Amino acid sequence: MAIDIMKKLTVVCENAAAQRLMKTLHGLGVVQLTDALAQHEAAAGVLERDEQSTEEWDTDLQKLHLIFGLLDVFAAEKRSFVAGLASVPLIIEQAELDTGIGYAELETLYVEALQLDGVYRQAERRIGEVEAQLAELAPLEELPFAIDEMSMSERVRMMLGMMRSQSIAELAQDAEAAKTLAWELVVPGHCLRKGSETAAAEWEATHSDEPRWVLAAFLKEDTEAARKCLSSHGFEEITLPQIRGTVRDRVRELNGELAELRQSVAGVGEKVQKLAVNRRRFLVLKALRMNQRDAALARRSCVHGEWTHMLTGYIRERDLPQLTSVLDAEFPSASLLVEDPGPDEDVPVSLTVSRHVRPVQTLVNLFGLPLYKSFDPSPFLMLNFYLFFGICFSDLAYGVSLVLLSYYIMRRTRQYEGVYNFAKLLLFAGFSTMIFGMLLGSWFGDLYEAQYLGEGNPMAKFMGLVSVIDPLEKPVIVLLIALAIGMVNQFYGIALKMYGALKNGDTATAVFDGLLWLIILPGAVIVVSTMFVALPASVLRVGLALFAIGALGLILTQGRSSKGLVARLGTGLVSLYGIVGSYGLTAFIGDTMSYCRLLALGLTTSIVALSFNMMANLLRPIPYVGIVLFILVLIVGHIFNFFISVLGAFVHSMRLIFVEFFGRFYAGGAKPFAPLGFNSREAVLKKAP
Amino acid sequence: MDHLVAIEVGRGLAIAGAGLAIGLGCAGSGKGIAIASQAAAGVLSEKPSLFGQLLVMIALPGTQGFYGFITGIMIFRKTGLLAGEWAVAPNTGVALLVMGLGVGIALYVSAVWQGEASAAGISLVARRPEEAGRALLFPAMVETYAVVALLAAILVIFWLTAPGAVGFLEQVAQ
């Protein structure tokens, strides 16, 4: 239950065995390769890097990319809302890899997909063009004459435009205009409809205030004068499309083409649906090719000479016997060199924890893995995370619901390690929620009260027996408890810092940056407490003594890395405040105050719950449907509160762990150990039974 | 001031304070969620598999609305509105009004900035999905101050409305 001990290895074999060796290591999945030339700089001029092409895999991946692009458009995978919340890796069986899509079959399917993709893209492009044309023609659809006829005359020019009624009246009075041009009003659809005279009259009656179409005609040589004249009367020219016949005919033509194109796209969709039958096989092939590409890339970190091939990497100490026996059996001529990693080396980290600790390891993974020379904090944050979560969520019924929901998810996701562990984390957090729900007297808020379930109901009796304090009635006491938990947690964090330092043999850090704070801080707490509560004089004396000893020690030691006595003492003095040094009184106050969120979040859960109870109860007196509405509002309200509160409880508990607790002793950021092998974030090869 | 008029004024001010806390809190949450949603929608168009991780980031600025709601409910509850027998002196009413305004502003501003922090976290998750845990931490840091405001509001409401506290019914009657 700790950080696995890692060893550095170098394997040298004859060139002929290199390919087989890589395959073997890939199958074993216990070695992470590193850059061999970086490990053995002396070999730089002698050995060359393995040049491994990934073109073969990249080509297949590109083909699959095109196929998945088509599937996403026409046969997108249907996933439920809940399934969409967590992405899980593809679990693949060995048989699927053995009988998967081969090169020839992929090529056939790709050619088919490529052809369908071509048809689809061409149709989509044309659909876009046609729709743009239709949008352009739409305002002119009622134009009653063929567009091409307007430009047939050699001597006469015609111009269509829009004018307001007022401007039309002024144009009619303009004698100069009458000499230059002839014009008439165009009624939409006038020539297209039968009985057009009546239609035109109706149109004019109902559209008298709108801008009107005006068709002007003039001699070619009068073009400039006519334009000027029309412009002076507010004539806005309409650029006519370059089409033959009427706009309506063209629109009909384009609509016909659009229908054909859509039919063609639908045809592509049907064929893609058939292609989608192979979706899983495509996914398996994608996982395989990605893995092969990664293996080829890893191979580039190996080097070779004329006769020999060399690879370097890391291996867990516990996997070493397995590797040794395989090398002895299958590569007798290979030589294996095993070393301990250097003190400043950036060693990849692998954690091995018990199944009970594994859920909280999820949090450590989220924050970042511990550095190789430090220690795994997972076991040390179990108690406080569940404690924080329980107080923040604190409701017996919600706790039971969370336990049941988490258990259900665990049952459904046993094969997906990440989701399973997260569900297990919530399962334990649910038990904690139940405990604090009982202690703080919350069951669906206050639903057990007499006004909801009647006098003397069993739930009220039970809650009366188990509840210790109601934060709604005594918030100050609960606040003080939350702050006390915060102080203890900070002391715990400092103690873990000492543990980490002692583990590395750094006694100075353990004493000066750990123990001294564990002396001064309780002393400061006692001294400050005397301002609010009467404490015996002996306790105050102890507090003052602790504070003085701690302060003196810190002043003398916190500036130990500074040069000169004055600088050392000055730094030590300032470190008490907290700007420099390993901690500080202000930082301690800030960190401790942050735990007041435990009360705030706990109250949030309770108050929102009891608000829904109250709202539901207001509906209860309604005749006939009252009880139904009462139950309905309760169900909807509490489901809502459950999810919003579980989110708040998780995020804020996580924050207290990451910021206030980890801040005292933990620095994550190590690279995870990633051995050669099939498994990745996207796909996992199912182990043989 | 006449006793009954004083109570009416006190009531009105207290309700206004609750209204400001609820209104500003909800307005801030709405805006914060909109900011985060816009960022998430862009990411989801390219990476739909991140939906679960992004949903949490979107929901985070939503809590301020609840904090405002809780502040309002606490005012109603502790001043006796829900029980139908309430009386608030004008000075208590003024205190609750200003407290409601202060809490409301804190909730509004923190929700909007939490939305911005969530959007930043979302863009981090889009590039590096393995950083989802740390990305969640940024908006959670902003929310601290909304939590502090809520807690301060709850404590102030308790102290202001406790029997024998400033300007409650007994003092008004005297």
| The two structure tokens encoding residue A77 | 């995978």
Q: Is residue A311 part of a domain?
A: yes
Amino acid, res. A149: E
- The neighbour count for residue A95, using CB atoms within 10 Å, is 9
Domain-embedded: residue A137: no
At which residue do the structure tokens 């016949």 appear?
A: A245
Contact B134 A363 (CB under 8 A): no
Task: Flag whether pLDDT at A116 surpasses 60.
Answer: yes
Q: CA A504, A506, A511: angle at the middle one, nearest 5?
A: 130
What residues of chain A lie within 8 A of the CB of B69, using their CB? 608, 611
Given a cut of 50, the residues of chain B with pLDDT beneath it are 168-169, 171-174
| Model confidence at A204: pLDDT above 70 | no
Q: For chain A, what percent of residues have pLDDT higher than 70?
A: 95
Identify all chain A residues contacting B132, using CB atoms and an 8 Å cutoff.
Answer: 366
Confidence of residue A189 (pLDDT cuts 50, 70, 90): low
Q: Is residue A500 situated within a structural domain? A: no
* CA A360 from centroid of its chain's CA atoms: 20
A465/A609 same-domain check: yes
pLDDT band at A119 (very low <50, low <70, confident <90, very high): very high
The DSSP code sequence of A130-162 is: HHHHHHHHGGGTT--S-GGGGG--SSEEEEEEE
Identify the DSSP state of A335.
E
Q: What pLDDT does residue A48 have?
A: 82
pLDDT at res. A532: 82
pLDDT at B66: 87
Are residues A391 and A470 located together in one domain of the fold? yes
Burial of A682 (0-12, 13-18, 19+ CB in 10 A): middle
Domain of A181, CATH number, reads 3.30.70.2750
Range of the domain at A463: 355-475+596-669
Asked whether residue A189 is assigned to any structural domain, the reply reads yes
d(CA A417, CA A26): 21
Q: Are residues A196 and A216 in the same domain?
A: yes
Do residue A85 and residue A114 come from a single domain? yes
Is residue A416 in some structural domain?
yes
Torsion of the alpha carbons at B63, B66, B67 and B72, rounded to the nearest 10: 170
A622-657: pLDDT as tens digits: 998 999 999 999 999 999 999 999 999 998 999 899
**pLDDT at residue A165 in the model:** 82
Look at chain A and report how many structural domains it folds into. 5
Global confidence as pTM: 0.78
Tell me whether residue A487 is in a domain.
no
Greater pLDDT, A550 or B77:
A550
- At residue A194, the pLDDT reads 46
Are A76 and A177 part of one and the same domain? no
Average pLDDT of chain A to the nearest whole number: 88
DSSP A181: E
Q: What is the mean pLDDT of residues A557-578?
A: 84
% chain A with pLDDT above 90: 46
- Give A301-333 pLDDT, tens digit per residue: 898 888 899 999 999 999 999 999 999 999 998
**Residue A444 shares a structural domain with residue A312:** no
Angle at A145 between CA A144 and CA A146, to 5 degrees: 140
Beta strands of chain B (E only): which ranges? none
Whether the per-residue pLDDT at A193 is higher than 70: the answer is no
Q: Is residue A257 situated within a structural domain?
A: no
Per residue in A172-181, pLDDT tens?
A: 888 888 888 8
CA A236 to chain centre: 53
Cβ–Cβ below 8 Å for A644 and B62: yes
Enumerate the residues of chain B whose CB falls inside 8 A of the CB of residue A449.
none
Is B133 an interface residue toward A (CB < 8 Å)? yes
- Cβ contact B136–A651 (<8 Å): yes
**Residue A419 scores a pLDDT above 80:** yes
B66 closest CB neighbour out of A363, A594, A608: A608
> What's residue B173's pLDDT?
47
How confident is the model over A351-404, as pLDDT tens digits? Answer: 988 888 999 998 888 888 999 988 999 999 999 999 999 999 999 999 999 999
Q: Are residues A366 and A428 in the same domain?
A: yes
Q: Give domain status of residue A78, yes or no.
A: yes
- What is the sign of the dihedral through the CA atoms of A186, A192, A196 and A201? negative
Whether A669 shows a pLDDT value over 90: the answer reads: no
pLDDT computed for residue A269 by the predictor: 93
Does A414 share its domain with A438?
Answer: yes
Q: What is the CA radius of gyration of chain A?
A: 40
**Burial class of A379 by CB neighbour count within 10 A (0 to 12, 13 to 18, 19+):** middle
Q: What is d(CA A556, CA A551) in angstroms, rounded to the nearest whole number? A: 9
Nearest CA in chain B to A419: B52
Same-domain pairing of A65 and A111: yes
With a threshold of 0.95, tell me whether the complex ipTM lies above it.
no
> Is there a contact between A659 and B137 if contact means CB atoms under 8 Å apart?
yes
Per-residue pLDDT reduced to its tens digit, A287-296: 889 888 888 8
What is the rounded distance in angstroms from the CA atom of residue A294 to the CA atom of residue A347? 21
Query: Is A419 in the same domain as A450?
Result: yes
Both ends of chain B: CA-CA distance in Å? 12
> Do A514 and A464 sit in the same domain of this protein?
no
* CB proximity list for B129: less than 8 A, separation 6 or greater: B47, B50, B53
A307 plus A332 within the same structural domain: yes
